[in-house]
Amino acid sequence: MGFRICLWQRPYVLEGTEVYTDAQEKNVLAEKHGPFVFLFVSPRSSIDFSNPQAVAWYHAKLYKALILGASSIKVDFGEKIEPSMRFMRYDGRQMHNLYPHLYQRAAFEAVEKTKGKGEGVICSRSAYAGSQRYPVHWSGDNSANHENLLCSLRGGLSLGLSGFPFWSQDTGGFVGTPSDELYIRWTQLSIFLSHIRFHGNPPGYREPWNFAPETQAIVRDYLGLRYRLIPYLYTEAQVAAREGLPVLQHLVIYIQDDPTVYNIEDQFMSGRSLLVEPLLTQNVSQRIYLPARSCFDFWNGQRYKGRKWIEREADVRTIPFFVRVGTILPFTFPCQSTDELTLDRETLKIYPDASGRVMYETLTRTKSTG
């Protein structure tokens, strides 16, 4: 049916299980030198990812699930390393920040080995310098309110400036239950990110069918728009991997000689050509800054000159976004899965500059075999 499965796991082995007994016999766990109780329940021990034998043991556990058909691993946690712990190569204090990095590398290698070169995708939260080599990442447990919608975006922009190209968050907020309006606004923002997921702590479910019929219709339309934008987003992901630029870009990356953009944290560039202004409050109007270079309003085609503020009305059905002049924006047809995407049914929307010139770029796109 086009679904791919990502399995959720933690790097802590539950005591009293067969897996724990096996790990102890093979000496692949860190020494605790004190109690380690994960999330207030269940004593556990951490896998020692500084030990090559432990990495090999861990790989063998993941291979079974990946060979059965799982496509990826949700590499959660990794930040619970105590100073009293001892690893093969480090003490607990040295390992505290490094642990999630080694953990993600091990999971990434397992997925890539079973799925093939270029198909090593995991989903991780805790990270360290260099962890961008093992994509993708998300922000962790946010809350279902407008304040967290804003602070999640700010965190993603900062992470992009730190060298992480692929970032997302729990759309709708993890804790609590979003209102229909907030759920729509969060979805509208998320379709422009490199990856998107709806995820929440029960009973705050995030599936669209838990919301009002009108909300379902609006969300369905925006998810359809995301699928139509996949050729563009995939191209920008290729650029991100090749050049290190994030897909979610702070405006200062887009234009560095305009001091006005330095402190703007409620707008962003999706790739190099789409300027997005999400509605982060319950207002239906927004002041938007258009940086240097002209752009077109995606919805009505109106052209604006850069370096100016404008006021834009946007009811709950609309997220303002703009297309840079000189862009050829590829659209595919509406579909239910990336398995349905082909290159023979695309529409090119052209946004010429004053002289009629356009930007054209060709990047090889290969269909995923995962």
Residues marked active site are found at: 76, 79, 141
Does residue 294 contact residue 304 with C-beta atoms inside 8 Å?
A: yes
Own/partner contacts of 241-245, CB < 8 Å, gap of 24 or more, are: 241/165, 244/163, 244/165, 245/165, 245/272
Question: Which residues, 6+ apart, have CB-to-CB distance to 236 below 8 Å?
Answer: 194, 247, 270, 271, 272
What's phi and psi for 216, nearest 5 deg?
Answer: -60, -40
Does residue 9 contact residue 75 with C-beta atoms inside 8 Å?
A: yes
Q: How far apart, in whole angstroms, are the C-alpha atoms of residue 139 and residue 157?
A: 11
Indicate the length of the chain as a whole number: 370
Which segments of the chain does DSSP mark as H helices, in order? 18-26, 52-68, 92-115, 146-161, 180-190, 213-228, 230-243, 251-254
Q: How far apart, in whole angstroms, are the C-alpha atoms of residue 148 and residue 177?
A: 13
Q: How far apart, in whole angstroms, are the C-alpha atoms of residue 114 and residue 102?
A: 19
Q: How many other CB atoms sit within 10 Å of the CB of residue 272?
A: 19
Reduced to 3 states (helix: H, G, I; strand: E, B; else coil), residue 307 is coil
Label residue 152 left, alpha or beta by phi (over 0 means left) and psi (-120 to 50 means alpha): alpha
* Interaxial angle between packed helices 213-228 and 230-243, expressed in degrees from 0 to 180 and rounded to the nearest 10: 60
